[in-house]
Structure 1
Amino acid sequence: MVSIPLGPIGVIIIQKTIHKGRLAGFISGLGAAIADMFYATVAAFGLGIVINFIKTQEFYLQLIGSIFLVYVGMRIFLTNPIKQIRGAKRSGKKGLLGDFLSIFFLTVSNPIAVFVFVAVFAGASIFGNNPTVRIELFLILGVLIGGSLWWYTLSTIINAFRRKFRLKQLFWINKISGIVIASLGFLAFLACFEPIKSFLGY
């Protein structure tokens, strides 16, 4: 449920699947799923120190994440699809590690995720009156498996239509997805300063 909304992470994973194949898309998705599992762990066990750190460093985490998102968007926008496809063939498994880590750190840089999980867990009354470690561990495992299945399904569906894209279409996919990702990153960057604006009365 948390993974399905296609924000900038989803757009990047779709773009990677189109240009590099299902495996690259799925491995990238695993980066997002494991990042979600990390935040689900924090939310489920109520790790006060980590939550407090996230609250105090929220501005910097969002700032770094938004700047990186703009960078990724501009890089996709400026990338020649021919070079991207050739680079994917040459990079092989090393490229997959980079795909995984880039999506993992992008997802982790969104500290709001931990509060989303707290709200979801509380709103659904998942733990009931007697939360146990066993229930929490099953819940965290469910977040990982659910997220992984979603990204596998999405990358498989996108990959099924991948061969039908021509070079001109790939060119425009790069341009459009790059603009979307960079724009969302820029909006996230502006959102970092909303509390400051409110404080100053703007």
Structure 2
Amino acid sequence: MLFVRSMAIGFSIAAPVGPIGMLCIQRTLSRGFRSGFATGIGAAAADTVYGLLGALGIAGIATTLPALTIALKIGGGVFLVWLAWTIAREASRAPSVLVETPNTTIARDFLTTFGLTLSNPMTILSFIGVFAALGPLPVGQAAPVGAQWFTVWPMVAGVFVGSAAWWLCLSSVTTALRRKMPASFMHGIARLSAVVIAMFGSIQVLAGLSHLL
């Protein structure tokens, strides 16, 4: 049951459509299912990293290293704005049919969203909160180390499976709808994605800069 509840947590944290969701949709429309799903899996992998830290109750990265938090926030925001610019620039060249995406591009799609998701260290606080609702962990108590990890790993695995399930659904649905969309509509979606991602990036940069003023 712990695995199932953790899977629900991973799914629910991934489901709100933010900049990563828009990026997943845009890449699925322009490059196909593999690119969109790789984009989502990158975010799922980062969620898993933060899920592990949250399960262990490690919140120090967000509380004892404020300078690192600010740098990650600003850096991630700048990268989002750059991504938005590249999406808008390529929107007019978006293909009207699905094309096979090279493996090198798949790896790049994975790594960009993995890094972007990690650039928001406050995500760890969300996992700490939701994991606390699942009940106390033996971590940090007198329980044997084996018992600690026996509790932690089902939670972490559940987060990854739940998050990956959401990205699989989003990529699959977008791919199915893509086949019925005219090219002009897909170009409009790409431009809209660029605007939304740029807005998220700008807000993130401003939020980071506000801590320096």
TM-score range, shorter chain: 0.7 to 0.9
Task: Give TM-score scaled by structure 2 length.
Answer: 0.82
RMSD in angstroms over aligned alpha carbons? 2.1
Deviation at 1:130, TM superposition (A): 4.3
Does the 8 Å contact 1:127/1:135 carry over to 2? no
The counterpart of 2:135, out of the listed 127, 133, 145, is 127
Over 3 Å counting, the alpha-carbon distance change for 1:54 and 1:111 in structure 2 is farther
Over 3 Å counting, the alpha-carbon distance change for 1:146 and 1:191 in structure 2 is same
Give 5+ residue unaligned stretches, structure 2.
Answer: 1-11, 140-147
Over 3 Å counting, the alpha-carbon distance change for 1:154 and 1:54 in structure 2 is farther
CA–CA distance in structure 1, aligned partners of residues 38 and 205 of structure 2: 27
Does the 8 Å contact 2:62/2:122 carry over to 1? no
CA–CA distance in structure 2, aligned partners of residues 50 and 155 of structure 1: 32
Give 5+ residue unaligned stretches, structure 1.
Answer: 198-202
Counterpart AA for 1:137? W
1:44-101 Cα deviation digits (max 9, x unpaired): 113466556654410000010000000001111111443x439x84751111011101
Give 2:163's aligned residue. 147
Does the 8 Å contact 1:81/1:170 carry over to 2? no
Give 1:116's aligned residue. 126
Deviation at 1:156, TM superposition (A): 0.5
Identity of aligned residues (%): 31
Does the 8 Å contact 1:27/1:99 carry over to 2? yes
Indicate the structure with greater helix content. 1
Over 3 Å counting, the alpha-carbon distance change for 1:48 and 1:4 in structure 2 is closer
Which segment is superposed worse, 188-197 or 55-64? 188-197
Is residue 2:36 matched to residue 1:28? Answer: no
Give 2:205's aligned residue. 189
CA–CA distance in structure 2, aligned partners of residues 48 and 129 of structure 1: 15
Over 3 Å counting, the alpha-carbon distance change for 1:135 and 1:102 in structure 2 is same
- The alignment of Structure 1 onto Structure 2 pairs a total of residues equal to 193
